[in-house]
Structure 1
Amino acid sequence: MRILLIMDPGIPVPPPAYGGHERLVYMFAEEYAKLGHEVSLLAGPDSAISGKTYAFGQNNLQRSKRQKLKELLFVWKFLYQRKKDFDLIHNFGRLAYLLPILQSPVKKIMTYGRPVAQQGIKKVTSLPNQNLIFTACSNYCVNTGNVAGRWETVYNAIDFSKYQLQEATATDAPLMFLGRLDQIKGLHTAIAVAKATNNTLWIGGNIPDTADNYQYYKETLEPQFDNKQIIYLGALNDEQKNHYLGRSKALLFPIEWDEPFGMVMVEAMACGTPVIAFKRGSVPEVIQENTTGFIVHTKEEMIDAVGKLDQITRKACRTAAQQRFDSPVIAKEYLHLHDQENN
C-alpha cells in the first residue's frame, strides 16, 4: 500500500528534542515501512524517514500567518496533483490540508492529539466527502470533536524497545515527576507527596517560558529544590528518561487539567514503573488500576497510594502497557481502519 503522512512544519520529523507529535509521525512512518508499505512524508525541512520525504514550509513555531497560508496552498497543490499516487493519506497536520481531496476516493485519516475545534469538523463534514475518518488519542479527546463524521479512538504510542524493564528497585528508590514545570502539571503536589511520605523526588522537565508559569516556577518550585530530597534533573532526553524512570518506585502525575493523553505515563510503564495520577482527562483510559498504577482524586489519596506500590508487579506493569501502547500495535490499528473502509 502507498501511504502518505502529513505533518505541519515548525519542527522536523523526527524532532531533534521537543516534539511529541512529530515523534509519533516518525514512529508510524517507520512501522508502516517495516510492514512492507511504500511510505512518503510531507513535513517541514530537515525531516527524514525510511521512505520518500517532501519538505515544505519553515521550521519556526512562531512563523507568520502569511507563511502558514503559503504552506496551506503548497499542500493543496501537492495533494490535488498527487492524490492518485497514494492509497492512504494520514494527516497529523491541519484539517484544512484535506479540502482539495475530500471527494477523492483515496482513504483519509485525520488524527488529533489534543482537544478538537468543533467548528472545523462541522464545516468539513458538511461538504461532500468520502473515505474520511477522524481519530483522536483518547476517548476523552474524541468526545471533544465527535459532533459529525466518523470518529475512532486510537491511542498514542511509544517505541517500547527504547525502554528497559527494571523488575526491582531499591527500597529507598525515589518517586519521579516528568513534564513541563507549568502549574497545571501539578509539581507542587508531587513535592508535597514526596515530603509527606519521606521519599526523594526526581524531577525532569523544562523550565516554563510563559510569564505566569515562570513566576510559579521561581516562587513555588525553585525554593524547594534542595538537591537532597527534592532534586531537579533538568530536561531529559529519551536515554535519560529510561534511566531515571526505571530506577523510580513510581511516577507521580498530579495534573490540574484534562490531559489529552499523557505520554510520560506510558514511558514510565515501559520501564515497569507504576503511575499514580489524578483522575483528569485520559488518565482513566491509560492506567489499569492495580496493574499499571493507581487513579486518585486528591493529594491525600496520592499519599496513601504510595504505600500500596508493593501490590504492583513491575513486569506485569510493562507487559500490560506494551500490549496497548507499543508503536507496532497502534500502527496496525490505523491500518485496520483503512482495511475496514475497503470492506
Structure 2
Amino acid sequence: MSLTVLMNAGPWLSVPPPGYGGIENVVATLVPELRKLGVRVVLASVETSTLPVDERIWVFPDGQFHALQRPYNQVCGVSQAHLDGVVRALRARDDIDLVHDHVEAVGLATMAAMGPDGPPVLHTLHWDLAKHPELYGNLDGGVRVRVNGVSASQLARAPRALREHSVGHVHLSTPLAVDADRRPRVEKGDHTVILGRINPGKGQDLGARLARQVGFPLVLAGPVGPYHRPADLAAAGDEARQNPDVRFFYDHVAPYVDGDLVRWVGTVAGRERDDLLAGARAALFPLRWEEPGGTAVVEALSLGTPVVAVARGCLPELIEPGRTGLLTTDEEELGDLVLAAGLLDPDECRRTAAARFTPAVMAERYVGLYEQVRRLAPRPLLPTPT
C-alpha cells in the first residue's frame, strides 16, 4: 500500500506515554500495525516520543501535560502552537495523503479551517461528545474532514452536525489481545481492580464504598490529577487541592481507603499492571458517565479477567453478559456482581479479546476508513509556492 499518513497525537504526552496516557497509548498501538500494512507514518507529537515511525514533527521538546494545571491564559496557546507547526508542515509538502488527527476540539477546528486545499482528514473522537456543543453542533468540514468514534454508543449521542461527518466507529484495541487465547491461566486472587484516572466519572468513590460495604478487597490503580504515586500526592500538600480530581479523591474516595480492604496504589504500567489485572477476580467499572472507548475493558478481557460494570456508554458493545462479564443498570448491585464474577471463565474472556480487540483488527478497520475518507475528498494538498 502506498499511503502516507500524518498521525497527529498532540503535544501533551510522548508516544508511547510514561504510564497513563489514553490517546497516546492508542496511537502507540495503532501505528506499528499500520506500518505492517505498508502505511508510511509521519508522527506529530513531542520530541521525546520514541515510537518507531518514518518521520517526526514536533514543536515542543517534552510533553506539556503538566501545563494543564496552570490558569487557562497561561496554557491556551499550547495546542495552538502544536497545530500551527502541523499546518506549516502540511503547507510545505505535498506527500501527505491523509491526516489522522487525535487532538481534542482544536485539532478538528484547525483541520476544518484549512479550507478546501487541505488534505483529507480523519479526526478520531476519543471523549465525551456532550462537550464542546458549539463546535460539534455547528461543524462544517465540507467533504474533506470526517470523524470517527470509538464506539457506536458514543456516536449515537453526538450532535447532528457531527454525525453527518461520521464514517463510523472503530473499537479500541490492546497488544495484550494478541494470542490472548493461547496465554496460560493465571491463578486468581480475591482482589478486584478499578483501573484508570481517579475522577467522578469513573466512580471510584462508589466502588470503594461498595467494597467496604460488601467486603471484597479493592485496588484503585490510576493517577489522581498529575500525581502518579501516593507519596507524590502527600508531598504536594494543600496546594494540590486546587486540582478538581485531587479534591474529589480527598473528599469522596480517601475516606474509604484504609490501606487494607481498599488500597490506592497510584499509576501502574507494564508488567506490574498486567499482573495486577490478570490476578484479579474482576475488573470493576462503576461508571457515572457514558464511557466512550473502554481501553481498560479490553485490557482486562485480554488478561482473562471478567468485567463488572454499570451498563453505560460502550460497555454493552464490549461485554457479553454471562460470558465475559456482568452488567447492571443498578449501581447498588455491583458489589454482589463482583462476588459472582468468580464463576465466569477466564478463557472465554481471552478468546473474545483475541478475536475482537487486537491491534491488527483496529488497523485494518482504520485503513478502510482512510480509503473511504480519501474517496470522499479526492483533492490533494497543494504545497505553498516558494
**TM-score class normalised by the smaller sequence:** 0.7 to 0.9
Contact 2:59 2:81 in 1 (8 A): no
Q: 1:70 to 1:265 in 2, by over 3 A?
A: closer
Match of 1:89 among 72, 93, 99: 99
User: Which shows bigger deviation, 272-281 or 6-15?
Assistant: 6-15
Q: Is 1:71 matched with 2:88?
A: no
How far has the Cα of 1:341 moved from its partner? Answer: 4.8
1:4 counterpart SS class: strand
How far has the Cα of 1:330 moved from its partner? Answer: 0.8
Q: Is 1:328 matched with 2:360?
A: yes
2:265 counterpart SS class: strand
How far has the Cα of 1:147 moved from its partner? Answer: 1.8
The letter for the 2-side match of 1:52 is E
Identity %: 24
Q: Which residue of 1 aligns with 2:275?
A: 243
How many angstroms apart in 2 are the aligned matches of 1:77 and 1:141? 32
How far has the Cα of 1:96 moved from its partner? Answer: 2.7
Q: Which residue of 1 aligns with 2:125?
A: 112
1:90 counterpart SS class: strand
Spell out, residue by residue over 1:303-328, the C-alpha distance to the aligned partner (whole angstroms, 9 max, x if none): 33234324421111122133222211
Aligned pairs, how many? 339
Q: Is 1:232 matched with 2:293?
A: no
How far has the Cα of 1:131 moved from its partner? Answer: 4.2
Contact 1:291 1:320 in 2 (8 A): no
Q: Which residue of 2 aligns with 1:34?
A: 36
- What RMSD in Å do the two structures reach over aligned CA positions? 2.7
How many angstroms apart in 2 are the aligned matches of 1:113 and 1:226? 34
Q: Is 1:185 matched with 2:202?
A: yes
Q: Is 1:53 matched with 2:56?
A: yes
Q: Is 1:169 matched with 2:187?
A: yes
Q: Is 1:201 matched with 2:214?
A: no
User: What TM-score do the two structures reach when normalised by structure 2?
Assistant: 0.78
How far has the Cα of 1:104 moved from its partner? Answer: 4.2
Q: 1:146 to 1:158 in 2, by over 3 A?
A: farther
1:40 counterpart SS class: strand
Spell out, residue by residue over 1:22-47, the C-alpha distance to the aligned partner (whole angstroms, 9 max, x if none): 12112222111122222211222222
Spell out, residue by residue over 1:106-130, the C-alpha distance to the aligned partner (whole angstroms, 9 max, x if none): 44211110123343345542x6x33
Which gives a bigger RCO, structure 1 or 2 (Cα 8 Å, sep 6+)?
2
Contact 2:282 2:342 in 1 (8 A): no
Q: Which runs of 5+ in 1 are unaligned?
A: none
How many angstroms apart in 2 are the aligned matches of 1:169 and 1:229? 20
Q: Which runs of 5+ in 2 are unaligned?
A: 68-73, 226-239, 376-386
Contact 2:20 2:267 in 1 (8 A): no
Contact 2:121 2:373 in 1 (8 A): no
1:294 counterpart SS class: strand
2:260 counterpart SS class: coil
Contact 1:72 1:97 in 2 (8 A): yes
Q: 1:104 to 1:145 in 2, by over 3 A?
A: farther
How many angstroms apart in 1 are the aligned matches of 2:125 and 2:294? 14
How many angstroms apart in 2 are the aligned matches of 1:203 and 1:64? 30
Q: 1:87 to 1:203 in 2, by over 3 A?
A: same
Contact 2:277 2:283 in 1 (8 A): yes
Q: Which residue of 2 aligns with 1:258?
A: 290
2:224 counterpart SS class: coil
How many angstroms apart in 2 are the aligned matches of 1:251 and 1:178? 8
The letter for the 2-side match of 1:271 is L
Q: Which residue of 2 aligns with 1:143?
A: 156
How far has the Cα of 1:222 moved from its partner? Answer: 2.9
Q: 1:220 to 1:261 in 2, by over 3 A?
A: same
Q: 1:5 to 1:342 in 2, by over 3 A?
A: closer
Q: 1:198 to 1:72 in 2, by over 3 A?
A: closer
Q: 1:29 to 1:102 in 2, by over 3 A?
A: farther
Spell out, residue by residue over 1:76-95, the C-alpha distance to the aligned partner (whole angstroms, 9 max, x if none): 2221222x302232111211
Contact 2:192 2:283 in 1 (8 A): yes
The letter for the 2-side match of 1:142 is L
1:173 counterpart SS class: coil
How far has the Cα of 1:163 moved from its partner? Answer: 9.5
Q: Is 1:153 matched with 2:155?
A: no
